[in-house]
Chains A and B, each alone.
Chain A
Amino acid sequence: MEDNLLIAIQEVVKTYHPANRPVQALRGITVNVNRGEAVAIMGASGSGKSTLLSIIGGLNPPTSGKIRIDEIDLYALSREQRADFRREYLGFVFQQFQLIPYLNALENVMLPLTTTRYPNRKKRAMAESVLERVGVADKRDRLPSELSGGEQERVAIARAVVNEPPLLLADEPTGSLDTRTAAEIMDLFGELNGGGLTILMVTHNRENSAYMDRTIHLQDGRLLSGAAPEERPLQETGSRDGTGGER
């Protein structure tokens, strides 16, 4: 099982100090995620789920605790090494798509490849291939403002996976979409997961969690359930094996 372990989060604590008053966002979180798993992180606002995602993304050093991804101690790396790590290991999808407004769909998808040493032709081929895969190849020359919400989300997903990372981090990816489009996008995540991509998704939506292998519940910075695949989740809801979720 250890060989299959992609993410190991050990006793992670994160304390913020707004106005010199300490606020504990995470209080000793320990979670493991295997390769190829799709995991939903759920919890009320302020429960610490987005903080956890940003820590796993190498963007937000924890106050204490360790994060290992693919055996790499993430915060033992320098800031710039973590930037390189993100480029190679991680894909990000955000709630508001976060496409660059002055780049067209193809250019947005090529963005994570910008600082790689691939020749331009290869970068272009990789981006076109992934746009084809997410179903918006015909929109490649359009600016984000010329795309619908669903199309923008597909482009954002294409950008997240263009460098073929082993891990995709998604923060409320369907939060800005209507139900039907959201379902289409979740299907797309399912397809990507089916291809072996590990997905960690922050969501409020119980229907979305149904697409995931398991769900981690957070409350007030503490883990309520779903710490590891082999452990018995206390409050696992909406899993792919059918305890409450629908596809």
Chain B
Amino acid sequence: MNLYRVVFQNLYRRKGRTILLICGQAAGIAAAAALLIMLQAARLELGNQIDEFGANLVVVPRNEGLELSHGGTPISRLSIDLKQLTETDLLNIEQIPDRNSINIISPKMIAAVEANHQQVLLVGVIPAKEFLMKPWFAFAPTDDPEAGQRIVDPVHFELPDDALLAGAAAAEALAIQPGDTVPINGREFKVAGVFQRIGSTEDGLLYANLPVVQSLLGRPGELSMVELSAYCNACPIDQIAAQLTAALPNGRVTALGQAALMRGETIDRFALFAALLAGAALIAAALLVLTIMTASVNERTREIGIFRVLGFRRTHVMQIILMEAGIGGFLGGLTGCIAGNLIAVTAGFYLAGITTAAPWQPALILPAAFAAALLAAAAGIYPAVRAAKLDPVAALRFI
């Protein structure tokens, strides 16, 4: 017979209260665990969504000299290129160790051309890739019902070789609209669509198919730049940039610091929010243990008085209460963490709309159980001190 035996017998024989204690703690731990696991999945999903939204890596030819820029990204002046990016480099990109982290590769040929007697930048792109990477592109509404019927998502728009798309500012400057014809370098291009105003330098560009622009400029297979969208969850963007630099001797790789910073800040904010929510769930669990243990001490006043009369020290009484809370917390943590895992894995989509599968985390269960035991014991300190301070005479109504 020792204190552990007293504690275990109490927990075993007072099943109702023990189950209440375990369930209370389990509910809090389950909520916290499910929240953390779901938020981990949501964080991964958010990171991927941010990564998919625009480019976070740019490759330009490794050149010296005066540069034009596009979207704040330097583009080497075409006339004095010393080294060239080619479509062969695209194959090299697909060979880097972290190739699976690369989501979209969008090669481009950019040139300053004259259209309707004005200088304008013509960009050769693969529309399905360019507009997938930049989902903010949308066609402007048109009054032409026939043209209106053709309005589709730019990603799925099949751009004919004799057609181009115009940014809002370019269309305005050149005074063109869908259906018009624009001569460029002696070749006629039909305006297939005008984009809605974006509010960036992209408004001033004309877009045509990449092979068409390469052919128009007499530089088949050459590229002015390659924009990449990479997932940074699996590896840091700097690591991918280093691999690209090694794989592309003719290219200069730039990681877009602003994108990385924004991603980092957004995810950090999200993680803080997740931690706060989980913390709130744990505080709720601790308060529940505090309430249950305080009620238990009130209920057992006489019993605690007997312990003291029989020679138990105050510290012995405290040990009994803390052990009860700790064991209840451990069992609650164990069951709560398993339940939290199950909730996150099976119901994550319904509860939080997460499409990324929440990972089953068995390694979390034992540490969570011990953490829950500590949390419950900490919550049990107040009732334990209260129990230890009970006057045995008053407790037994001995007077």
Contact = CB atoms under 8 A, between A and B. Distances in A.
A86 B398 contact: no
A106 to B, nearest CB: 9
Interface in A18-51: 25, 50-51
A19 to B, nearest CB: 15
Nearest to B13: A102
Interface in B1-42: 1-3, 5-6, 9-10, 12-14
A173 interface: no
Contacts of A101: 13, 303
B311 interface: yes
Given A102-B9, A115-B3, A83 B308 contact: yes
Interface of B: 1-3, 5-6, 9-10, 12-14, 302-303, 306-316, 392-393, 396, 398-399
A115 B309 contact: no
Nearest to A169: B309
B310 A86 contact: yes
Given A86-B309, A98-B302, A107-B1, A115 B316 contact: yes
A65 B9 CA distance: 42
A2 to B, nearest CB: 28
Interface in A86-111: 86-88, 90, 92, 94, 98, 100-103, 107, 110-111
A88 B314 contact: no
Q: Is chain B's interface secondary structure helix, strand, loop, or mixed overall?
A: helix
A124 interface: yes
Contacts of B312: 83, 114-115
B313 A83 contact: yes
Contacts of B2: 114, 120
Interface residues of A, number: 39
B399 A54 contact: yes
A81 to B, nearest CB: 9
Interface string A61-88: 0000000000000000001100111111
A100 B398 CA distance: 17
Given A54-B398, A59-B398, 8 more contacts: A59-B392, A60-B398, A98-B306, A100-B6, A100-B303, A112-B310, A120-B1, A159-B310
A111 B310 contact: yes
Contact of A84 (B3, B14, B311): B311
A184 B303 CA distance: 27
Nearest to A111: B310
Contacts of B13: 101-102, 143
A123 interface: yes
Nearest to A81: B313
B313 A60 contact: no
Interface string A109-151: 0111111000010011001000000000000000100000000
A79 B3 contact: no
Output the residue of B13, B316, B398 with the most chain A CB within 10 A.
Answer: B398
A54 B398 CA distance: 7
Nearest to A88: B311
A221 interface: no
Nearest to B315: A80
Given A25-B399, A79-B314, A98-B396, A92 B9 contact: no
